[in-house]
Structure 1
Amino acid sequence: MLENQAKASPAPAKALAWAPKDERLARPPPPRSSSRAAVAAPSDSAVVGLRAAAPPSPRGKKAKPAAQYDRFIPSRGAMDMASSQFNIARADAETPLDGAAAAYQEEIARACGVSLNKRILTFREEAPTSERDDLRQVYSRPALKSSASTGAKRRILNTPERVLDAPGLVDDYYLNLLDWSAGNMLAIGLDQSVYLWNASTGDVDSLCQLEGESYIASVKWTADGSYLAIGTSEGDVQIWDAETQSKIRSMAGHQARVGVMSWQQHILSSGCLDGSIWNHDVRVANHKTAELVAHSNEVCGLAWRSDGALLASGGNDNLLNIWDARSTVPKFSKTQHTAAVRALAWSPWKLDLLASGGGAYDRHVHFWNTTTTARLNSIDTGSQVTSIQWSIEYRELVTSHGFPHNHLALWSYPSLAKIVDIPAHDKRVLHTAMSPDGQTIATAASDESLKFWRIFEARTKTAKAGKAGAAAASASVPTPAGAVATLDISRPSSIR
């Protein structure tokens, strides 16, 4: 039968007819091993035909025939056969998933680190692994993406959501004239007046107006948004009720303007042009409880830590001081800044992390561990730093800047990679404030405009309550007897 098949096929004869005349392509001798030849070698005529059909090599050398396989055999040793057999066995018993169930299954698989598109067959051995099972790979969830990659996917517009006029805004780097309350009320000081803008309704009210040559130097809301502190150019500190829009009390004593303030429950700290810091207990008639003296020039930055244990202060003497609440001497001081230290912000998700920003001749943001007093890292922003706002939900922060770029910059932490630059104003950005839900940043600039930027959009459709819950809790203060009383500064002597 083999002889009949060879005679019936004319292919070898045609292949030989096309063969080149070069004698170097002659058929080589058969292999030495007769056993292999008997099993794998084809007929002589077929071998000659295949080699004659291949084109000659450019250098006259014979070309190697390409390897040909008839099927792919996976390496079963590298596959999880038990799991595969189980999945095949149960495939017929399962009903198809609807859209909602399939989406839920994908979410569960993603959270557990299971790939639904994993290869079924494995054609090569995997790299050797440890003999001990790493249970962390089995039970741990996949690592969270860095804030830089998250920010790159998040859509951040370089145009404001809303623009309001702010005529009469004093162009002074050392003042603090903008603050946003937990009740969604925005307070801004314009020359001699303080205006309240209700972000929920859009209503604008004039809260107060100073007389003579006095002007507003600073504004600061209490944590619950019930009261507003106003610092004046004459050195007075006024307390106003936001609901009734009436002045509760006025605390005098400073010899010059009060350009910055910070609340910690019933204690209001105020920074003065003469370099002094006063702590006022707004519940009692004799309000001054402590005077902190460590700055040789105007105090332009103040920020209490959320737990009330530490107070950070920055001044026009290029000095950063950290104060213990129980002492009138700085816990430690930092001199790395080469310009006024106005921008101060405590991290909302890491208690001992503080960011500080310097003025036009410094242009740096430094990050401090206030427990070890070490500087963790620094950013050269290239512009005057006027404020810093940490995100509540993202591991990011926003810095506002003056000359020469007058912009907002969004940074990832701790990588400190810049996510985006937002050209905010025509002139330097003097003040920023964050909305209660932590999504929107309000900016006020010397171009007399007030703009609102949606930068930290919530990850879910339902926005978080923001600072409201923490603010309500901080409105209660412990009394000496151990009971808890609600702060009521309308009656200064109500709590002793």
Structure 2
Amino acid sequence: MSRMLPDRAPAHTVSWHPSRDLIALGTVLGNVHLLNKRLVLLRSVCVFPDPLCGVSKLAFSRDGSLLACGGLGGSVVVWDWERDTTRSDEVDTRSTVTSLSWHPWRRSMLAVGSLAGDVIIMDFSQRFITQAKYRGKLGYSADVTALSFSPKTAELVVAFNSKGATQIAVLTDLTTVVDRLEEHEDPVNYLCWSPDGTTLATAGSDNVMCLWNFMGAKKTRELKREALREAREARSGIGRRFGCVIR
């Protein structure tokens, strides 16, 4: 079974609905198409009108009512596909969105990672955005190559790469590292949880797959927080931004 999409543009990302036979597909032209398992096109929306800002990542919320859309240009849009409405809280990392992850039990909370080293926590119910930019040990820029909330603990697992150094950090918040998963030598592009949420699979450019027992003991260590400031924005509500160094 196959189907040619309406805009005939290369697809960049696909996401399955968590409980229904629906598939979302994002293209390089900034369009998102919703299809059923018979590949019947149900709905389409242009989330990024700029022709240079295609869709890089898609992620359904836990209940499947919302679809987060990350862009090659760094923007994030959330599509309420049932009501056919979109919203954006002026999040713009100015670099490709590499990963999206919904909080396991807070319906309105979304984590975003970018190639510019940004990790953003968006809470749509409170119109609150927290953004941190991470750097390597010597101040080099860091890429966030993947991130994912633990379905059991809601800790945020973030894979970083900076000047050839790769690290997977487990965060309880954007400045507190409670564990490090150190085995990979090259960028980690994929984080995938087992169905029971206790084991994490990681894989990347070094041709290595690792399985981690995520319910083991944790180490606690604080990140250095720099340039903490708070800003109020008319459309986004309260925003909080700071810089951190991964060590």
**TM-score normalised according to structure 2 size:** 0.75
Q: Name the % identity.
A: 24
Corresponding residue number in structure 2 for 1:408: 168
Written as runs of structure 1 = structure 2, the 5 A alignment for 1:165-244 is none
1:353 aligns with one of 97, 109, 112: 109
Structure 2 counterpart of 1:334, from 90, 100, 103: 90
Deviation track 1:57-81 (CA, whole Å, cap 9, x = no partner) reads: xxxxxxxxxxxxxxxxxxxxxxxxx
Aligned counterpart for 2:122 among listed residues 353, 368, 371 = 368
Distance 1:394 1:329, change over 3 A: closer
Q: 1:439 is matched with which residue?
A: 198
Q: After the TM superposition, which of the residue ranges 341-350 and 294-303 deviates more from structure 2?
A: 294-303
**1:330-353, Cα deviation, whole Å (9 max, x unpaired):** 222433312111210000021111
In the other structure, the counterpart of 1:242 is none
2:70 is aligned to 314
Partner of 2:214: 455
Distance 1:417 1:452, change over 3 A: same
Deviations 1:422-472 (A, max 9, x none): 3332211111111112122211211222222222349xxxxxxxxxxxxxx
Distance 1:309 1:293 in 2: 18
- Tell me which protein shows more helix as a share of its residues: 1
Whether 2:60 is the aligned partner of 1:294: answer: no
Asked whether the 8 Å contact 2:69–2:77 carries over to 1, the reply is: yes
Mapped contact 2:104–2:154 kept (Cα < 8 A): no
- CA distance in 2 between partners of 1:395 and 1:289 (Å): 33
Match of 2:2 in 1: 250
> Cα deviations across residues 314-362 of structure 1 (Å, max 9, x unaligned)?
0111100011123444222433312111210000021111111111xx2
1:26 corresponds to which residue? none
CA distance, structure 1, for counterparts of residue 60 and residue 96 of structure 2: 19
| Residue identity in the other structure for 2:185 | D
Residue type of the alignment partner of 1:444:
A
C-alpha displacement of 1:303: 0.7
Alignment CA distance shift 1:314-1:322 (3 Å):
same
1:345, 1:355 within 8 Å by CA — same for their partners in 2?
Answer: yes
1:255·1:274 contact (CA, 8 Å) conserved in 2?
no
> For residues 16-165 of structure 1, what are the structure 2 equivalents within 5 Å?
none
Question: Partner residue of 2:131?
Answer: 378
> What amino acid does structure 1 have at the position aligned with 2:213?
R
TM-score, with length taken from structure 1: 0.39
Count of residue correspondences = 204
**CA distance, structure 2, for counterparts of residue 349 and residue 419 of structure 1:** 21
> 1:256/1:444 Cα in 2 relative to 1: closer, same or farther (>3 Å)?
farther
Deviations 1:354-410 (A, max 9, x none): 111111xx20111111223321x2333322112222112224110112333322011
Q: Does 1:324 pair with 2:84?
A: no
Cα separation, partners in 2 of 1:397 and 1:257, compared to 1, 3 Å: same
Structure 2: which amino acid aligns with 1:298?
G
Q: What whole-Å deviation, never above 9, does each CA across 1:136-173 have from its counterpart, x for those lacking one? A: xxxxxxxxxxxxxxxxxxxxxxxxxxxxxxxxxxxxxx
| Larger CA Rg, structure 1 vs 2 | 1
- Counterpart residue type for residue 55 of structure 2: V
Match of 2:26 in 1: 271
* Change in CA separation of 1:456 and 1:364 when aligned onto 2, cut-off 3 Å: farther
Within the candidate set 400, 424, 437, 2:183 is matched to: 424
